[in-house]
Amino acid sequence: MASTGHHDPNLNYLNWQKGLWSWLTTVDHKRIGILYMISVMIFFAIGGTFAMLIRAELFSVGKTIMDAKQYNQAMTFHGAIMVFMVIIPGIPAFLGNFILPMQLGAKDVAFPRINLLSWYCLMVGAAIAFTSLIYNGADTGWTFYTPYSVTTQNGTIWLVAGAFVIGFSSILTGLNFIVTVHKLRAPGMSFWRMPLFVWALYSTALLQVLATPVLAITLVLLMVERLLGVGIFDPKLGGDPVLFQHFFWFYSHPAVYIMILPAMGVVSELIATFSQKTIFGYKAIALSSVGIAAVSFFVWGHHMFVSGQSEFAGVLFSFITMLVGVPTAIKTFNWVATMYRGSIRFDSPMLYAMGFLFLFTIGGVTGIMLATVGVDVHFHDTYFVVAHFHYVMVGGTLMAIMGGIYYWMPKMFGRMVDETWARISFVLVFVGFNVTFFPQFILGAMGMPRRYYDYLPEYESLNKISSFGAWTIGIGFLIGLGVILHAIKRGKPSGPNPWNSKTLEWQTPSPPPHENFHVQPVVTAGPYEYR
Amino acid sequence: MNSTTGSLFMPPQATAIAANVDALYEFLLIASFISCVLVIGGLIVFAIKHRRKSEGEKTPYIAHNTTLEFLWSFIPFVIFMVAFVWGWIVFHQLRSMPQNALEIAVQAQKWDWTFVYKSGRRVAGEFTVPVGQDVKLIMTSADVLHSFYVPAFRTKQDVIPGRYTPCGLTPTKKAPSKFFVLNIAAINTPECSPKFTLSRARNTKIGCKRSPTKA
């Protein structure tokens, strides 16, 4: 399909224009993807540093390295950076930007300039958010719950304003992807021939476009209340703090799926490719992405089982949350079934995909425990919840990002990663992760509240184990960073399709030319035809 | 409820409802364990059994299996519904307000709690009820969001400024239960967390201290 006959084979998207300005003004989706990659990695390093500091403080009872105020700020910045600047843009804006148009057989996204604008929104929003540090920082946690956030230190308003601007980055990316999927598919590419990564990004984009504006409005209301004294959420001004929670979680629960659905898409690609086998239950996986996205709009109240909402509301939200479990279980079973009678190779991307399945399964079943309203009352606001969402967000999304980077590294830079070091990095991250977060399930069951600066002496040994695990993860990711930088600089040339993958992005040179394909691809079969 | 020992890793049980919560917790643990063994076990078995022996191996085309897909959709659905209904029953018990209960007005504030009894007695930072007595707390906050949480009671309820939020409980045992005052919005300060339960012969007395001390 992809002929290079009339084109300079040495020209690709990396070298067809040169200079920093060409990068800062680029409208090439691949270059914008790389800009996101650099930004997200920097933000991840900052957010990860806060995580290390938090675990250092929690290493022992009493003050270890910081006081309560500093701890609250470290926790707030860890959460806000990881959610708004790393996990939400991580897969859609970075990997999605790079890969989605190519998987569709398109030259670019539908609105290339808006695509660049979305990256600038992220950067400007991040700059505003970090300004918070100049004004005493913020100590509300990433959820900005009222009425505390209306009255606490001034830095909070900057962090809120930053999150507001970053939201536009997410909305614009989602809008771009929806239009791209509808209008720019290659000839012959029906919806049922789209790769599952595209299905996942499409479902995510619907969430980004429909849910993020609610967060934006909520944050504006918060700023209006704080700056102008208009009573919206603060009872002293006639407002209702629980209303804020409803608004906030109406966005932030779908946001959980903005974080995890693209990861599921990456895992579908990895498992099919490294098993060299047609994906089992293609339509079920594709539709379950859309199903999860749709149902996710109606489950926000499970964050509020003890908030004072009515018993009926609690029961209803518990029921709907259980329904999300069904398509999620279907996906998991389909991935495992795809491996059945496959030809499985354990390259580092596949190790990350298997790590995802392992951790996401534990994250999933503990999610069902938390959806069960009768026991959630005890687990709510304890370390059980912290462990659960890290198993889903870190164990799920970050595993998929790492697997995705190693998988598409040959496509992005035409080079292979060093497998030995990539595997060492994986083992450290995987083992460190379980050592960090599994003890937190036990701490939560024992009743240890989350967000606390200090804890009872009987929780100390498990907290020490957890801290050792966190530092192991840190070392693992540092090695992973080294693997990525080494591959970009000195990795072995990969050739166009080192994994023998069947999706369209691999049917063009690596790295790809400026407009992806020298010849317009025509699609005649599904994306996983390994027979 | 005879035992004060909680289920695996759970705190001691100091209300009748705690045993019901723990029974549901045990069911969920077992169901979760079996699910993990099936999925992760399948993953490991297939990974070992079907590892690539040589490049260019052909793999079979298995796109779907209706029976299998129905079963692995329907069986989880049934388990989820069992968990949901059971959870609903337990939640209803947790949220049911006892009749003729001893009513205590509770006000939370940074960083203390005040308990006002029907008799007009006002106690700051200490909460005392007789064992076996139905109690109805009517709670509000003077400033930000707080949360009333006694792990041994398995009960937790946010306390919200501008609202009166009820919480019913019946302590059945004197128990070395920790009393946590969660401050959701302001997160925490060292002087507000954690707080401790003291046990007496006939009463469950929940004390509020400035620094951690063993009960």
Q: Categorize the per-residue pLDDT at B178 as very low, low, confident or very high, splitting at 50, 70 and 90.
A: low
Place of tokens 């004072």: A308
Q: Which residues of B touch A305 (CB under 8 A)?
A: 91
Helical (H) or strand (E) element with B129 = strand B126-130
pLDDT of residue B176: 52
Q: Indicate the SS3 state at residue A356.
A: helix
pLDDT of residue B151: 85
Burial class (CB in 10 A: 0-12, 13-18, 19+), A213: middle
Q: Region B93-120: what's the mean pLDDT?
A: 88
Q: Does B178 touch chain A (CB under 8 A)?
A: yes
pLDDT digits (tens, 9 = 90+) for A215-271: 999 999 998 998 898 999 999 999 999 999 999 999 899 988 999 999 999 999 999
pLDDT of residue B56: 84
Place of tokens 């990711």: A477
Contacts of A44 (CB under 8 A, 6+ apart): A82, A86, A90, A477
Q: Indicate the SS3 state at residue A104.
A: helix
Task: Choose among B28, B87, B185: nearest Cβ to A148.
Answer: B185
Q: Which residue has the higher pLDDT, B173 or A104?
A: A104
Q: Which residues of A touch B25 (CB under 8 A)?
A: 369, 375, 378, 445
Q: Categorize the per-residue pLDDT at B5 as very low, low, confident or very high, splitting at 50, 70 and 90.
A: low
In this predicted structure, the answer to whether residue B183 has a pLDDT above a threshold of 60 is no
In this predicted structure, the answer to whether residue B148 has a pLDDT above a threshold of 50 is yes
Chain B interface disruption, residue of A280, A306, A385, most B CBs within 10 A: A306
pLDDT of residue A518: 92
Cβ atoms < 10 Å from Cβ of B152:
24
Contact B95 A147 (CB under 8 A): no
Q: Which residues of A touch B158 (CB under 8 A)?
A: 306-308
- A516: closest CA among A101, A22, A93? A101
Place of tokens 């591959």: A487
pLDDT of residue A321: 96
Give me the interface pTM, i.e. the ipTM: 0.92
In this predicted structure, the answer to whether residue B214 has a pLDDT above a threshold of 50 is no
CA distance B90 to chain A (A): 5
Q: Region A179-205: what's the mean pLDDT?
A: 97
pLDDT of residue B130: 76
Q: Which residues of B touch A278 (CB under 8 A)?
A: 59, 61-63
Q: Categorize the per-residue pLDDT at A6 as very low, low, confident or very high, splitting at 50, 70 and 90.
A: low
Contact B10 A452 (CB under 8 A): no
Q: Which residues of B touch A336 (CB under 8 A)?
A: 39, 42-43, 46
Q: What percent of chain A has pLDDT over 70?
A: 99
Task: Choose among A235, A278, A284: nearest Cβ to B62.
Answer: A278
pLDDT of residue B212: 31
Beta sheet of B195-199, edge-to-edge order: B126-130, B203-207, B195-199, B178-182, B146-150, B155-159
Q: Does B89 touch chain A (CB under 8 A)?
A: yes
- A244: closest CA among A225, A258, A228? A225
pLDDT digits (tens, 9 = 90+) for A108-144: 999 999 999 999 999 999 999 999 988 888 888 899 9
Task: Choose among B73, B144, B158: nearest Cβ to A147.
Answer: B144
In this predicted structure, the answer to whether residue A31 has a pLDDT above a threshold of 80 is yes
Q: Categorize the per-residue pLDDT at B4 as very low, low, confident or very high, splitting at 50, 70 and 90.
A: low
Q: Region A417-445: what's the mean pLDDT?
A: 97
Name the closest residue on chain A to residue B63, using Cα atoms: A280
Q: Region B182-204: what's the mean pLDDT?
A: 39
Contacts of A13 (CB under 8 A, 6+ apart): A28, A30, A31, A511, A512, A513, A514
